[in-house]
Structure 1
Amino acid sequence: MRQLTRAEEEVMQLLWQKGKSRVAEIIEDMPEPKPAYNTTSTIVRILEDKGFVGHEKAGRGFKYFALIDKDTYQKATMKKMVNSYFEGSFKNMVSFFVKEKNMSAKDLESILKELDKTRD
Protein backbone atom coordinates (compact mmCIF):
# COMPACT_ATOMS: atom_id res chain seq x y z
CA MET A 1 0.00 0.00 0.00
CA ARG A 2 1.31 3.43 -0.92
CA GLN A 3 2.25 5.86 1.82
CA LEU A 4 0.30 9.10 2.11
CA THR A 5 1.74 12.58 2.57
CA ARG A 6 0.74 14.56 5.66
CA ALA A 7 -1.79 16.61 3.63
CA GLU A 8 -3.27 13.48 2.03
CA GLU A 9 -3.56 11.79 5.40
CA GLU A 10 -5.32 14.84 6.85
CA VAL A 11 -7.96 14.64 4.10
CA MET A 12 -8.32 10.87 4.58
CA GLN A 13 -8.80 11.31 8.34
CA LEU A 14 -11.70 13.67 7.62
CA LEU A 15 -13.25 11.31 5.05
CA TRP A 16 -12.97 8.39 7.48
CA GLN A 17 -14.62 10.53 10.12
CA LYS A 18 -17.35 12.20 8.07
CA GLY A 19 -18.03 9.75 5.29
CA LYS A 20 -19.08 11.13 1.90
CA SER A 21 -18.15 14.81 1.59
CA ARG A 22 -17.78 17.60 -0.94
CA VAL A 23 -14.43 19.40 -1.10
CA ALA A 24 -15.99 22.45 0.61
CA GLU A 25 -17.21 20.22 3.47
CA ILE A 26 -13.74 18.75 3.90
CA ILE A 27 -12.26 22.25 4.10
CA GLU A 28 -14.85 23.30 6.72
CA ASP A 29 -13.47 20.73 9.16
CA MET A 30 -9.82 21.55 8.57
CA PRO A 31 -7.91 23.62 11.12
CA GLU A 32 -6.91 27.22 10.51
CA PRO A 33 -5.34 28.38 8.32
CA LYS A 34 -7.65 26.53 5.95
CA PRO A 35 -6.14 25.49 2.62
CA ALA A 36 -7.42 26.92 -0.65
CA TYR A 37 -10.26 25.08 -2.40
CA ASN A 38 -8.01 24.28 -5.40
CA THR A 39 -5.31 22.85 -3.12
CA THR A 40 -7.76 20.55 -1.35
CA SER A 41 -9.37 19.54 -4.63
CA THR A 42 -5.95 18.61 -6.02
CA ILE A 43 -5.19 16.50 -2.94
CA VAL A 44 -8.51 14.68 -3.32
CA ARG A 45 -7.75 13.97 -7.01
CA ILE A 46 -4.31 12.64 -6.07
CA LEU A 47 -5.96 10.37 -3.50
CA GLU A 48 -8.30 9.14 -6.25
CA ASP A 49 -5.33 8.41 -8.51
CA LYS A 50 -3.70 6.45 -5.68
CA GLY A 51 -6.90 4.41 -5.21
CA PHE A 52 -7.74 5.72 -1.74
CA VAL A 53 -10.79 7.81 -2.68
CA GLY A 54 -13.78 7.41 -4.98
CA HIS A 55 -16.50 9.87 -5.97
CA GLU A 56 -20.14 10.03 -6.94
CA LYS A 57 -22.13 12.73 -8.68
CA ALA A 58 -23.98 15.03 -6.28
CA GLY A 59 -25.88 17.84 -7.98
CA ARG A 60 -23.45 19.87 -10.04
CA GLY A 61 -20.44 18.55 -8.17
CA PHE A 62 -19.14 15.43 -6.52
CA LYS A 63 -19.05 13.80 -3.12
CA TYR A 64 -15.87 11.94 -2.25
CA PHE A 65 -15.53 8.88 -0.04
CA ALA A 66 -12.79 6.57 1.25
CA LEU A 67 -12.20 3.35 -0.69
CA ILE A 68 -9.63 2.12 1.84
CA ASP A 69 -10.85 1.82 5.42
CA LYS A 70 -8.85 3.37 8.24
CA ASP A 71 -8.05 0.04 9.89
CA THR A 72 -6.51 -1.37 6.68
CA TYR A 73 -4.34 1.73 6.20
CA GLN A 74 -3.35 1.79 9.87
CA LYS A 75 -2.21 -1.84 9.78
CA ALA A 76 -0.20 -1.38 6.57
CA THR A 77 1.43 1.81 7.86
CA MET A 78 2.38 0.29 11.20
CA LYS A 79 3.75 -2.84 9.54
CA LYS A 80 5.89 -0.72 7.23
CA MET A 81 7.15 1.39 10.15
CA VAL A 82 8.05 -1.68 12.23
CA ASN A 83 9.83 -3.27 9.27
CA SER A 84 11.67 -0.06 8.30
CA TYR A 85 12.74 1.20 11.72
CA PHE A 86 12.58 -1.73 14.15
CA GLU A 87 13.91 -4.68 12.09
CA GLY A 88 10.42 -6.14 11.82
CA SER A 89 10.17 -6.56 15.60
CA PHE A 90 7.29 -5.16 17.62
CA LYS A 91 9.38 -5.94 20.70
CA ASN A 92 12.08 -3.57 19.41
CA MET A 93 9.42 -0.92 18.79
CA VAL A 94 7.97 -1.19 22.30
CA SER A 95 11.50 -1.16 23.77
CA PHE A 96 12.23 2.02 21.85
CA PHE A 97 9.18 3.78 23.30
CA VAL A 98 10.04 2.60 26.82
CA LYS A 99 13.65 3.83 26.48
CA GLU A 100 12.45 7.19 25.12
CA LYS A 101 10.11 7.45 28.12
CA ASN A 102 7.09 7.64 25.82
CA MET A 103 5.60 4.58 27.50
CA SER A 104 5.16 3.98 31.20
CA ALA A 105 5.08 0.73 33.14
CA LYS A 106 1.33 1.29 33.50
CA ASP A 107 1.02 1.51 29.70
CA LEU A 108 2.96 -1.76 29.36
CA GLU A 109 0.69 -3.47 31.90
CA SER A 110 -2.32 -2.29 29.92
CA ILE A 111 -0.85 -3.66 26.69
CA LEU A 112 -0.12 -7.01 28.36
CA LYS A 113 -3.71 -7.21 29.62
CA GLU A 114 -4.99 -6.55 26.09
CA LEU A 115 -2.70 -9.27 24.73
CA ASP A 116 -3.97 -11.71 27.35
CA LYS A 117 -7.55 -10.96 26.28
CA THR A 118 -6.77 -11.79 22.65
CA ARG A 119 -5.25 -15.14 23.65
CA ASP A 120 -8.41 -16.31 25.42
Structure 2
Amino acid sequence: MTAKSNLKPTESELEILQILWEKGDSTVRDVHEILEKNKEAGYTTTLKLMQIMHEKGLVSRDTSSKTHIYKALVNQQKTEQHLVNKMINNVFNGSAARLVMQALGNHSASKDEIDSIKKYLDELSKN
Protein backbone atom coordinates (compact mmCIF):
# COMPACT_ATOMS: atom_id res chain seq x y z
CA MET A 1 0.00 0.00 0.00
CA THR A 2 1.15 3.50 -0.71
CA ALA A 3 1.40 6.22 1.91
CA LYS A 4 -1.73 7.80 0.40
CA SER A 5 -3.84 4.73 1.11
CA ASN A 6 -2.74 4.83 4.76
CA LEU A 7 -4.15 8.31 5.27
CA LYS A 8 -7.19 8.58 7.45
CA PRO A 9 -9.68 11.05 5.98
CA THR A 10 -11.86 13.06 8.34
CA GLU A 11 -15.65 12.79 8.21
CA SER A 12 -15.89 15.93 6.05
CA GLU A 13 -13.14 14.67 3.75
CA LEU A 14 -14.99 11.36 3.42
CA GLU A 15 -18.12 13.21 2.30
CA ILE A 16 -16.09 14.89 -0.44
CA LEU A 17 -14.38 11.63 -1.41
CA GLN A 18 -17.80 9.94 -1.69
CA ILE A 19 -18.84 12.61 -4.18
CA LEU A 20 -15.62 12.27 -6.18
CA TRP A 21 -15.90 8.47 -6.21
CA GLU A 22 -19.50 8.61 -7.42
CA LYS A 23 -19.33 11.58 -9.78
CA GLY A 24 -15.70 11.37 -10.92
CA ASP A 25 -13.41 14.33 -11.54
CA SER A 26 -15.13 17.51 -10.34
CA THR A 27 -14.70 21.18 -9.63
CA VAL A 28 -15.08 22.65 -6.16
CA ARG A 29 -18.40 24.15 -7.31
CA ASP A 30 -19.67 20.69 -8.41
CA VAL A 31 -18.75 19.17 -5.05
CA HIS A 32 -20.12 22.12 -3.11
CA GLU A 33 -23.52 21.96 -4.86
CA ILE A 34 -23.90 18.29 -3.90
CA LEU A 35 -22.75 18.88 -0.31
CA GLU A 36 -25.18 21.76 0.05
CA LYS A 37 -28.15 19.45 -0.63
CA ASN A 38 -27.53 17.61 2.65
CA LYS A 39 -26.05 20.22 4.97
CA GLU A 40 -25.18 23.87 5.30
CA ALA A 41 -21.74 24.33 3.84
CA GLY A 42 -20.03 27.49 2.70
CA TYR A 43 -18.27 27.46 -0.66
CA THR A 44 -15.03 28.71 0.90
CA THR A 45 -15.19 25.90 3.48
CA THR A 46 -15.52 23.32 0.68
CA LEU A 47 -12.66 24.98 -1.20
CA LYS A 48 -10.40 24.98 1.88
CA LEU A 49 -11.21 21.34 2.66
CA MET A 50 -10.35 20.30 -0.88
CA GLN A 51 -7.10 22.29 -0.76
CA ILE A 52 -6.18 20.52 2.49
CA MET A 53 -7.10 17.17 0.92
CA HIS A 54 -4.76 18.01 -1.97
CA GLU A 55 -1.94 18.81 0.48
CA LYS A 56 -2.58 15.51 2.28
CA GLY A 57 -2.47 13.56 -0.98
CA LEU A 58 -6.12 12.45 -0.87
CA VAL A 59 -6.96 14.23 -4.14
CA SER A 60 -5.10 15.55 -7.16
CA ARG A 61 -5.77 18.94 -8.70
CA ASP A 62 -5.55 19.74 -12.40
CA THR A 63 -4.69 23.43 -12.70
CA SER A 64 -4.27 23.49 -16.48
CA SER A 65 -7.44 25.55 -16.96
CA LYS A 66 -9.02 28.42 -15.02
CA THR A 67 -11.36 26.02 -13.20
CA HIS A 68 -9.39 23.48 -11.18
CA ILE A 69 -10.51 19.86 -11.45
CA TYR A 70 -10.12 17.54 -8.46
CA LYS A 71 -9.78 13.77 -8.59
CA ALA A 72 -9.77 11.24 -5.74
CA LEU A 73 -6.35 9.63 -5.32
CA VAL A 74 -7.39 7.15 -2.65
CA ASN A 75 -9.15 3.95 -3.63
CA GLN A 76 -12.77 3.69 -2.45
CA GLN A 77 -12.67 -0.02 -1.68
CA LYS A 78 -9.39 0.19 0.27
CA THR A 79 -10.65 3.19 2.22
CA GLU A 80 -13.91 1.42 3.07
CA GLN A 81 -12.03 -1.75 4.11
CA HIS A 82 -9.71 0.27 6.34
CA LEU A 83 -12.59 2.10 8.02
CA VAL A 84 -14.67 -1.06 8.52
CA ASN A 85 -11.68 -2.91 9.99
CA LYS A 86 -11.03 0.01 12.31
CA MET A 87 -14.69 0.06 13.39
CA ILE A 88 -14.79 -3.70 13.94
CA ASN A 89 -11.68 -3.53 16.11
CA ASN A 90 -12.47 -0.34 18.01
CA VAL A 91 -16.25 -0.48 18.42
CA PHE A 92 -17.20 -4.16 18.16
CA ASN A 93 -14.19 -5.67 19.94
CA GLY A 94 -13.06 -7.50 16.80
CA SER A 95 -16.44 -9.11 16.05
CA ALA A 96 -17.56 -8.73 12.44
CA ALA A 97 -20.77 -10.61 13.34
CA ARG A 98 -21.70 -7.97 15.93
CA LEU A 99 -21.14 -5.23 13.34
CA VAL A 100 -23.37 -6.99 10.79
CA MET A 101 -26.13 -7.70 13.31
CA GLN A 102 -26.04 -4.10 14.54
CA ALA A 103 -26.15 -2.76 10.97
CA LEU A 104 -29.05 -4.98 9.94
CA GLY A 105 -30.88 -4.30 13.21
CA ASN A 106 -30.69 -0.52 12.78
CA HIS A 107 -31.22 -0.18 9.02
CA SER A 108 -33.82 -2.01 7.00
CA ALA A 109 -32.34 -3.92 4.10
CA SER A 110 -34.26 -4.59 0.90
CA LYS A 111 -35.11 -8.14 -0.15
CA ASP A 112 -32.42 -7.91 -2.85
CA GLU A 113 -29.83 -6.83 -0.29
CA ILE A 114 -30.79 -9.66 2.07
CA ASP A 115 -30.63 -12.15 -0.83
CA SER A 116 -27.15 -10.83 -1.73
CA ILE A 117 -26.03 -11.17 1.90
CA LYS A 118 -27.36 -14.75 2.07
CA LYS A 119 -25.58 -15.63 -1.18
CA TYR A 120 -22.34 -14.10 0.10
CA LEU A 121 -22.62 -16.02 3.40
CA ASP A 122 -23.29 -19.26 1.49
CA GLU A 123 -20.15 -18.68 -0.58
CA LEU A 124 -18.12 -17.97 2.55
CA SER A 125 -19.28 -21.16 4.25
CA LYS A 126 -18.26 -23.24 1.20
CA ASN A 127 -14.63 -22.13 1.53
Identify the TM-score tier after normalising by the shorter chain.
0.7 to 0.9
Aligned to 1:6: 11
Deviation of 1:45 (Å): 1.5
Aligned to 1:76: 82
CA distance, structure 1, for counterparts of residue 79 and residue 28 of structure 2: 22
Residues 42-83 of structure 1: CA distance to partner in whole angstroms, max 9, x if unpaired? 111221232211111241231000001211111110000001
Matched, 1:40 2:46: yes
C-alpha spacing 1:92/1:41, structure 2 compared with 1 (3 Å):
same
Greater CA drift, 108-117 or 15-24: 108-117
C-alpha spacing 1:44/1:91, structure 2 compared with 1 (3 Å):
same
Structure 2 gaps, min length 5:
1-5
CA distance, structure 2, for counterparts of residue 18 and residue 72 of structure 1: 18
TM-score with structure 1 setting the length:
0.77
Q: How well do the aligned residues superpose, as a CA RMSD in angstroms?
A: 2.7
CA distance, structure 2, for counterparts of residue 23 and residue 97 of structure 1: 33
Structure 1 gaps, min length 5:
none
C-alpha spacing 1:103/1:111, structure 2 compared with 1 (3 Å):
farther
Q: Which amino acid aligns with 1:88?
A: G
CA distance, structure 2, for counterparts of residue 63 and residue 86 of structure 1: 39
For the Cα contact (< 8 Å) 1:52–1:67, is it kept in 2? yes
For the Cα contact (< 8 Å) 1:27–1:34, is it kept in 2? no
Percent of aligned pairs with the same residue? 31
Residues 74-102 of structure 1: CA distance to partner in whole angstroms, max 9, x if unpaired? 1110000001112222123234456xx33
